[in-house]
Amino acid sequence: MLLCAAGPAYVIVRSRSGEISTVDYMAGYGLSIVAAVAGAGMATRQADDPFRYELFA
């Protein structure tokens, strides 16, 4: 979740130096999308098979 905040933080840091280009927006929010997809992949990896441990059987 914290990694998803890196994209908007990148945009804010770039805006402090002056005007922001479209490339800066795309890089910042693209970073957020990649982080969200990676986080979703890690979450599905953790919750793979509840019957493996027979807790719910």
Q: Indicate whether 55 pLDDT > 80.
A: no
Query: Average pLDDT, stretch 18-46?
Result: 89
- Supply the pTM of this predicted model: 0.68
Q: Tell me what pLDDT residue 37 has.
A: 92
The answer to whether 16 and 34 are in contact (CB under 8 A) is no
Q: Tell me what pLDDT residue 44 has.
A: 79
Q: Tell me what pLDDT residue 50 has.
A: 61
Mean pLDDT of the chain: 84
10/15 Cα distance (integer angstroms): 9
Q: Indicate whether 57 pLDDT > 60.
A: no
